[in-house]
Amino acid sequence: MLKHMTQKRSHGQKKDSDTSTEQSGKVYIALLRGINVGGHAKVAMADLRQMLTELGFDEPRSLLQSGNLVFRSAERAGAALERLLAAEAEQRLGLSSDFLVRTADEWEALVAGNPFANAARDDPSHLLVMCLKDAPQAERVEALQAASKGPERVQAAGRQLYIVYPDGIGRSKLTGTLIEKQLATRGTGRNWNTVLKLAELVRD
């Protein structure tokens, strides 16, 4: 697990909890949706890490420039944490973006639950995991699979969608916009290489 580095605060206020309570906080991964792509929603990872520190979250780290954050929180979780981060990013950084949050345990389950083991081994850059705000209904997943006329393969598991793009993501007609429309929820994708790097980061 991550080493304890910063004193726990909430919105700039000191907390009365002792060090042992702070260290018991869970490790989270937060993925930002649609930033630093084609000049859209540009933000520096250093600014996001600083925001997390100012909000009182411990040990903020980032991976790549696509918006992958790892930190510890003892107070908030789930949808409440997603709403807080989105609101603070807009207020502090002028950034309008969804945050998709998973615990370290949920991320490990995401890795273990991959239904496309061959793609993960042989072509990880073309295997995408899309984290979703809400678990889609089974009929919507079936509709998405029916709408995909190309070689892509799609499987859903809870709030995750696993997609194999054998011919690459850039030229595929199975776009993020189509996926979100069919599933009636928002999400953000990371290729398998990034998924594994994040898994290593939360174990460190």
Helix H, strand E, coil C: the string for the chain is CCCCCCCCEECCEECCCCHHHHHCCEEEEEEECCCCECCECCCCHHHHHHHHHHCCCEEEEEECCCCEEEEEECCCCHHHHHHHHHHHHHHHHCCCCCEEEEEHHHHHHHHHCCCCHHHHHHCHHHEEEEEECCCCCHHHHHHHHHHCCCCCEEEEECCEEEEECCCCCCCCCCCHHHHHHHHCCCEEEEEHHHHHHHHHHHHC
Same topology for domains 9-106 and 113-203, yes or no? yes
Q: Which residues of 170-196 are buried (b: 16+ CB within 10 A; e: fewer)?
A: eebebebeebbebbebbbbbbbbebbe
| pLDDT tens string 57-99 | 999 999 999 899 999 998 777 899 999 999 999 999 999 999 9
Query: Chain-wide mean pLDDT for the chain?
Result: 88
What are the boundaries of each domain within the chain? 9-106, 113-203
The domain 9-106 having CATH identifier 3.40.50.2000: the answer here is no
| pLDDT tens string 12-45 | 343 433 333 345 589 999 999 999 876 678 899 9
What does the pLDDT read at residue 76? 75
More confident residue, 117 or 10: 117
What does the pLDDT read at residue 24? 53
What does the pLDDT read at residue 193? 98
Share of the chain above pLDDT 70, in %: 87
What does the pLDDT read at residue 37? 74
The domain 113-203 having CATH identifier 3.30.70: the answer here is yes
Whether the per-residue pLDDT at 143 is higher than 90: the answer is: yes
